[in-house]
A and B are shown apart, each in its own frame.
Chain A
Amino acid sequence: MWKTVVRRFLIMIPQLFVLSLLIFILAKMMPGDPFTGLITPDTDPNRIEELRELAGLNDPWYIQYMHWIANIFQGDFGDSYTFKVSVASLIGDRGMNTLWLSLVSVILTYLIAIPLGVIAGRYQNTLRDKSIVLYSFISYAIPTFVLALIFLYIFGYQLQWFPTSGTVDVSHDKDSWGYFWSKVYHLILPAVTYAFLATTGIIQYLRSEIIDSQTQDYVKTARSKGIPMKKVYTRHIFRNSLLPIAAFLGFSITGILGGSVFIETIFGFPGMGQLFIQSISARDYSVITTLIMLYGFLALLGSLLSDIILSIVDPRIRIE
C-alpha cells in the first residue's frame, strides 16, 4: 500500500505542473491587471506604467511564468498586489480562520447528521423518520445565503445572542482566555449555519444504507444467533452503513480549507473563499495562482486520503 501512496504522490507532480501552466495562462488572459483599479484623476498614468514594468507585468508570459515557478521552488509565492504582504502570510491568516470555522462546522455536521441518519433509518416510516426527512428536505432546499441571513437576523440582531461580524472581538489581548473564548463565540453562528445545510447528504446516505442493510444476510445470521436487535444495529449495521460516508471523509478534510463565500461574506468572516473571489476581481495574480495551486493539491490529496480511509474501514478494498 505504501508503494502506491508514494506513486500517487509522484504522479501529482506532473499533474500540478500542468495545472500551474493552465492557471497561469488563464490568469494572465483575464482583462485588466492589478493596477487597473488604481485609476483616478489623481494618479499619474506614467507612474502606473512604471509600476507595471517594475512588477514585470510587461514581460512575455513565459518569462513571468519561469520567474514565478522558480520562486515557488524557493518557497516564495510572491507578495499580494492588494494587501502588500507575502501571499504565504496572507493565506496563513485567512487559512487559520477558515480552518477553525470548517473544523467546527464539520464536527457539528457529523454530530448532528449521524444520529439523525441512524434514527431515521432504524425507525423507518415512523413520525420520527418523517420529521427527520422533512428537516433534511428543508435544509437541502434552502439556499445558503438565505439561511445565513435569517440566522444572522434572528440570533444576531433580534435576540443578540451572538456577535454579528468578524472572527474575534478587538478589545481582548492576544493569547488571553478572553481572546480564545471570543474566537469560539464568533465561530458558533456561522458554524451552525454551515452544519445545518451540510447534514442533508449524510443523513440521506446513512438512512438508505441502514434500510438496505436491514435485509442483508449478515443481519439475518446475527439475529438467528440470538443477538439482540439493539446490538445488531450498533455493531453490525452501523459500521457497514458508514462506508459511503467514510469515502467522503477525505474530501471533507481537505475541503476544510476551501471556505464558503456566502457564509464568510454575510458574517463578515475573513476566510479563504472570500479571499479567492476578491483576488480574482482585483486581479491579484499572485494570490489567485497560489490559491488554485493549493486547492488543486488539496483535491488530489483528498482523493488519495479517501482511498486510504476506505481501505482501512472496508477490508474488501485494497490499494495495490
Chain B
Amino acid sequence: MKKKNWLMLLLVGIITLVLAACGGGDDKKESSKEKVDTNALPDTATNKDEAIKGGTLKVGLVSDSPFQGIFNWELYEDAYDSEIMAYASNSIFDTKEDFLISDKGLAKLDVDEDAKKATITIQKDVKWSDGEPFTIDDVIFPYYIIADKDYTGVRYDADLQNIVGAVEYHDGKADDISGIKKIDDHTAEITFKKISPAIYSGGDGLWGYAEPKHQLKDIKIKDLVKSDEVRKNPVTLGAFVIDKIVNGESVQFKANENYWKGQPKLDKVVLEVVPSSSAAASMKAGKYDILTSYPANAYGDIKELKNTQILGRPELSYSYLGFKEGKYDTKKGEVVVDENAKMSDQKVRQAVAYAMNIEEVTDAYYDGLRERANSLIPPVFSTYYDSKLKGYNYDLDKAKSLLEEAGYKDTNNDGYVEDPDGKEFTIKLAAMSGSDKDEKIVQFYIQNWKAAGLKVELTTGRTIEFNSFYDKVQADDKDIDMFMAAWGTGTNPSPSGLYSKTAQFNFSRYTTPELETLLSNIDSKEALDSDYRAEAFTKWQEYMSEQAVTVPMYFRTEIVPVNNRVKGYDIKYVDGAELQNLELTADAPVK
C-alpha cells in the first residue's frame, strides 16, 4: 500500500485506457469518427410495456470520489449533492422556457416592479414528508439561515444583500430582516433595493427553496451543516424521502406519501456512487436504471448497448478562449485595460479565432457531443440566444489576411509572423490539464495556429493543473496572453457578473464604455420587457463576437444512459420528468 503517492491524473488517464481494453475490444472511441447528431439523441425514454406495481429504481452516480452529503440547499457546495437532493427537492418554483419562473410550482411569484416588491404565494394544504403543514414560515426561514452571522456558505452574496434589511440582520444591527414580511400563513412580501429582470430567473436575492422550520429551528446555524437533520434525515417537500444512507456511498429513498403532486408510483429509489472506470460495464450488466453525471467522453463505451437508451440534452455551459487585455485593480475593484497588451489588436485576435479548426476537434475527439459555439449564451436560452451569429468558423485564408492587414508579417522566413515592429511574436497560452485528450487537443490547435503563421507556446510549457490555472489567470500572470476555460451559466443567463468593469471574474480584463452600456441594458428596468431584453442580449452577443476578446469554443451535450425497463423518464428542461410518474416494466434492470 505504498502507492498512495501516485498522481491521480496518471491514474485517471490509465484507467480510461484499461477500461477501453476491458470493454471486450469494442474500443471505438478513438477510431469512430462518425459524428453523433446531438439533436437526434432523444430527451425522452420510450417504453410501451406494461408497468409493474411499485419497484425500486436504481440510480448510479458516476463519480470517483465519495459525495459530501450536505442535503440542504443553503449549505451544499458540491454538484453531486444537488443531484441527490433532486429526488427530495424543496424547490418551490417551477420554471418554463429560458428558466423563467412559472405559475405551476408550489409557490407563485408576483412582482411589483415600481414598488420593488415581490409577493410569494404558496399553495394551501401541502404537507412536509413528516406530515407537518407547509407554511410561509418555511419559505422565509432560508433567508434567515443565509443572512445569519454564523452562516459559512457562499450564498450570503451581493444578490442576497439586495434584500432590504439583510445586511443589518447579518451584522447584528437588527433582529429581523426588515424587507421580508409575512402577510398570512401562505403569503409573504419581500422588498428589494433594486429589481432587475433577473428576478424572474430567481436572481436579485429571491430564494427558490423552502426549509422545514419546524425541524430546523432549534439548531444553531453554525451547527446546521454537521447536524443529522441535514445529513441523515432531512424532511422534504419532494417526491422521495431519504430512508437510509451510507456516508459518501449510497442513499436509499422511499416514496413520500405526502408529496403534493401525488404519491410516487415507485416504492424506492436506491442511489449509489459508481466509479467512472466501471460505469459503462455496470450499465451493460444491468446494475442500474439511470446513470447520472456520466462522462460524455465515454459515450463510445455505451453507444452499442442493447439494454440502454441514451438521452441527451444541452448543458448550461460554454467553453471559451479568452485573451488578456489588462489587469484587475483590486484596490479600485475594477478592470484596467492595458492598451499595449500583446493581444490588444482586434484583427490578431480574430485571426487566432479563425485559425482554429474547432469542428474537426468536436468530431474527432468528442463524438460530436460538443459542437462549435457561436455565442456566449447557450442555445437553451432560446429567447436570448442569437442563432444568426456566425462566430469564427475555421477559415485559414481569412486568418492569414487579417494578420497581414494588422501588419504581422513573416520577415525572417521562419514560418512564423513577426509583429509590426519586426520583433518575434510568440503567444503564451494557458490551458488546463485533464485527460490525455485535452493535451492532444491543445497540441492540435497549436498546429492550427502554426499553419496560420502564429507561434503559440504553452504557459509553463505544459497544461496546468486546475487550481494553479485559476490562480494564474486570476492574478493576471504576465506569462498568459490567452487561456482556455469554461463557464457554467446556471439558469440565470445575465452576463454582467463575468464581463462587467467591476467583475473579478472578468478574466479577460476587458472593458469599454460601450460594453458597459450593453451589459446594463440587459439588466435594466426597460429589460423587464422581454422583447427589449432579447434585443439587448442580441446586441451584446454581436458586440462580444466582433471584439473577439472572449471567443466561444464549444457548447456541450450532457448524456444520460437509461435502462430499457424505465418508463416515463425524460430530461427535458421544460416540463421534464415528474418523479411521481416514473414507473418500471420489469423486476430488475434489463441485461
Chain A residues near B (Cβ < 8 Å): 30-33, 36-48, 50-51, 54, 82-86, 93, 102, 144-146, 149-150, 152-153, 156-158, 160, 164-171, 173, 194, 255-256, 258-262, 265-268, 270, 272-274, 276-278, 281, 283
Most buried by A among B15, B64, B275, B489: B275
How far is it, in angstroms, between the C-alpha of A169 and the C-alpha of B14 when the chains are bound?
29
Instruction: Report yes or no: A102 in contact with B1, Cβ–Cβ below 8 A.
Output: yes
Instruction: Report yes or no: B470 in contact with A32, Cβ–Cβ below 8 A.
Output: yes
Residue B65 lies at the interface, judged by CB distance under 8 Å to chain A? yes
Q: List 6 A-B contacts (CB under 8 A).
A: A39-B505, A54-B152, A152-B281, A258-B4, A266-B15, A276-B4
How far is it, in angstroms, between the C-alpha of A173 and the C-alpha of B252 when the chains are bound?
12
Name the B residues within 8 Å of A158 (CB-CB): 285
Residue B302 lies at the interface, judged by CB distance under 8 Å to chain A? no
Residue B225 lies at the interface, judged by CB distance under 8 Å to chain A? yes
How far is it, in angstroms, between the C-alpha of A36 and the C-alpha of B472 when the chains are bound?
11
How far is it, in angstroms, between the C-alpha of A243 and the C-alpha of B489 when the chains are bound?
63
How far is it, in angstroms, between the C-alpha of A43 and the C-alpha of B77 when the chains are bound?
11
Name the B residues within 8 Å of A270 (CB-CB): 66, 247-249
Select which of A32, A43, A145, A170 is within 8 A of B11 by beta carbon: A145
How far is it, in angstroms, between the C-alpha of A260 and the C-alpha of B282 when the chains are bound?
22
Residue B131 lies at the interface, judged by CB distance under 8 Å to chain A? no
Select which of A82, A170, A276 is within 8 A of B272 by beta carbon: A170
Select which of A152, A171, A256, A281 is within 8 A of B466 by beta carbon: A281
Most buried by B among A45, A46, A168: A45
9 more A-B contacts (CB under 8 A) besides A32-B468, A82-B78, A273-B1? A30-B467, A42-B490, A42-B497, A156-B278, A170-B252, A260-B1, A260-B4, A265-B64, A281-B8
Select which of B14, B66, B278, B470 is within 8 A of A157 by beta carbon: B278
Given known contacts A261-B6, A265-B11, is B246 in contact with A168 (CB within 8 Å)?
A: yes
Distance of B91 from chain A, by nearest CB (Å): 16
Name the A residues within 8 Å of B77 (CB-CB): 38
How far is it, in angstroms, between the C-alpha of A276 and the C-alpha of B7 when the chains are bound?
11
Select which of A31, A194, A276 is within 8 A of B467 by beta carbon: A31
How far is it, in angstroms, between the C-alpha of A78 and the C-alpha of B477 when the chains are bound?
33
**Nearest 5 Cβ contacts at the A-B interface:** A32-B467, A44-B157, A45-B504, A31-B468, A170-B250
Instruction: Report yes or no: A93 in contact with B156, Cβ–Cβ below 8 A.
Output: no
Name the A residues within 8 Å of B64 (CB-CB): 265
Given known contacts A42-B490, A149-B19, is B471 in contact with A165 (CB within 8 Å)?
A: no
Name the A residues within 8 Å of B78 (CB-CB): 82
Instruction: Report yes or no: A43 in contact with B154, Cβ–Cβ below 8 A.
Output: yes
Select which of B1, B152, B273, B471 is within 8 A of A255 by beta carbon: B1
Chain B residues near A (Cβ < 8 Å): 1-4, 6, 8, 11, 14-15, 18-19, 22, 64-66, 68-70, 75, 77-78, 152, 154-159, 225-226, 244-252, 270, 272-275, 277-278, 281-282, 284-285, 287, 465-468, 470-472, 487-490, 492, 497-498, 503-505
Instruction: Report yes or no: B65 in contact with A165, Cβ–Cβ below 8 A.
Output: no
How far is it, in angstroms, between the C-alpha of A259 and the C-alpha of B5 when the chains are bound?
11
Instruction: Report yes or no: B489 in contact with A41, Cβ–Cβ below 8 A.
Output: yes
Instruction: Report yes or no: B65 in contact with A274, Cβ–Cβ below 8 A.
Output: yes
Select which of A51, A93, A256 is within 8 A of B152 by beta carbon: A51
Name the A residues within 8 Å of B252 (CB-CB): 170-171
Distance of A80 from chain B, by nearest CB (Å): 9
How far is it, in angstroms, between the C-alpha of A144 and the C-alpha of B65 when the chains are bound?
19
Instruction: Report yes or no: A46 in contact with B158, Cβ–Cβ below 8 A.
Output: yes
Distance of B358 from chain A, by nearest CB (Å): 22
Instruction: Report yes or no: A51 in contact with B154, Cβ–Cβ below 8 A.
Output: yes
Instruction: Report yes or no: A261 in contact with B498, Cβ–Cβ below 8 A.
Output: no
Instruction: Report yes or no: A36 in contact with B68, Cβ–Cβ below 8 A.
Output: no
Instruction: Report yes or no: B11 in contact with A259, Cβ–Cβ below 8 A.
Output: no
Distance of A42 from chain B, by nearest CB (Å): 5
How far is it, in angstroms, between the C-alpha of A153 and the C-alpha of B20 when the chains are bound?
12
Name the B residues within 8 Å of A85 (CB-CB): 226
Distance of A113 from chain B, by nearest CB (Å): 15
Instruction: Report yes or no: B11 in contact with A165, Cβ–Cβ below 8 A.
Output: no
How far is it, in angstroms, between the C-alpha of A118 and the C-alpha of B234 when the chains are bound?
57
How far is it, in angstroms, between the C-alpha of A160 and the C-alpha of B591 when the chains are bound?
12
Given known contacts A84-B68, A260-B1, A260-B4, is B275 in contact with A268 (CB within 8 Å)?
A: yes
Given known contacts A153-B22, A164-B282, A270-B249, is B468 in contact with A170 (CB within 8 Å)?
A: no
Name the B residues within 8 Å of A167 (CB-CB): 246, 249
Instruction: Report yes or no: A47 in contact with B282, Cβ–Cβ below 8 A.
Output: no
Name the A residues within 8 Å of B4 (CB-CB): 258-261, 272-273, 276-277
How far is it, in angstroms, between the C-alpha of A42 and the C-alpha of B208 when the chains are bound?
14
Instruction: Report yes or no: B278 in contact with A261, Cβ–Cβ below 8 A.
Output: no
Tell me the nearest residue of chain B to A48, going by C-beta: B154
Name the B residues within 8 Å of A33 (CB-CB): 467
How far is it, in angstroms, between the C-alpha of A166 and the C-alpha of B19 when the chains are bound?
19
How far is it, in angstroms, between the C-alpha of A44 and the C-alpha of B160 when the chains are bound?
10
Given known contacts A255-B1, A266-B278, is B270 in contact with A84 (CB within 8 Å)?
A: no
Instruction: Report yes or no: A259 in contact with B488, Cβ–Cβ below 8 A.
Output: no
How far is it, in angstroms, between the C-alpha of A265 and the C-alpha of B492 when the chains are bound?
35
Instruction: Report yes or no: B287 in contact with A164, Cβ–Cβ below 8 A.
Output: yes
Distance of A32 from chain B, by nearest CB (Å): 3
Instruction: Report yes or no: B68 in contact with A83, Cβ–Cβ below 8 A.
Output: yes
Tell me the nearest residue of chain B to A273, going by C-beta: B4
Instruction: Report yes or no: A41 in contact with B487, Cβ–Cβ below 8 A.
Output: yes
Tell me the nearest residue of chain A to B8, going by C-beta: A277
Given known contacts A36-B470, A164-B282, is B156 in contact with A47 (CB within 8 Å)?
A: yes
Distance of B300 from chain A, by nearest CB (Å): 17
Instruction: Report yes or no: B275 in contact with A146, Cβ–Cβ below 8 A.
Output: no
Select which of B18, B273, B504 is within 8 A of A145 by beta carbon: B18
Given known contacts A160-B285, A260-B4, is B470 in contact with A39 (CB within 8 Å)?
A: yes
Instruction: Report yes or no: B1 in contact with A166, Cβ–Cβ below 8 A.
Output: no
Name the B residues within 8 Å of A166 (CB-CB): 246, 249-250, 272-273
Most buried by B among A47, A84, A273, A278: A84
Instruction: Report yes or no: B245 in contact with A32, Cβ–Cβ below 8 A.
Output: no
Name the A residues within 8 Å of B66 (CB-CB): 270, 274
Instruction: Report yes or no: B65 in contact with A170, Cβ–Cβ below 8 A.
Output: no
Distance of A312 from chain B, by nearest CB (Å): 25
Instruction: Report yes or no: B277 in contact with A32, Cβ–Cβ below 8 A.
Output: no
Instruction: Report yes or no: B468 in contact with A41, Cβ–Cβ below 8 A.
Output: no
Distance of A171 from chain B, by nearest CB (Å): 6
Instruction: Report yes or no: A150 in contact with B22, Cβ–Cβ below 8 A.
Output: yes
Distance of A190 from chain B, by nearest CB (Å): 12
Instruction: Report yes or no: B492 in contact with A82, Cβ–Cβ below 8 A.
Output: no
Instruction: Report yes or no: B278 in contact with A171, Cβ–Cβ below 8 A.
Output: no
Name the B residues within 8 Å of A43 (CB-CB): 154, 157
Distance of B68 from chain A, by nearest CB (Å): 5
How far is it, in angstroms, between the C-alpha of A102 and the C-alpha of B1 when the chains are bound?
9
How far is it, in angstroms, between the C-alpha of A167 and the C-alpha of B249 when the chains are bound?
8
How far is it, in angstroms, between the C-alpha of A164 and the C-alpha of B488 when the chains are bound?
32
Distance of A260 from chain B, by nearest CB (Å): 5
Name the B residues within 8 Å of A54 (CB-CB): 152
Tell me the nearest residue of chain A to B493, going by C-beta: A41
Tell me the nearest residue of chain B to A85, going by C-beta: B226
Instruction: Report yes or no: A84 in contact with B272, Cβ–Cβ below 8 A.
Output: no
How far is it, in angstroms, between the C-alpha of A158 and the C-alpha of B273 when the chains are bound?
20
Name the A residues within 8 Å of B157 (CB-CB): 43-44, 46-47
Instruction: Report yes or no: B159 in contact with A170, Cβ–Cβ below 8 A.
Output: no
Select which of A39, A40, A169 is within 8 A of B490 by beta carbon: A40
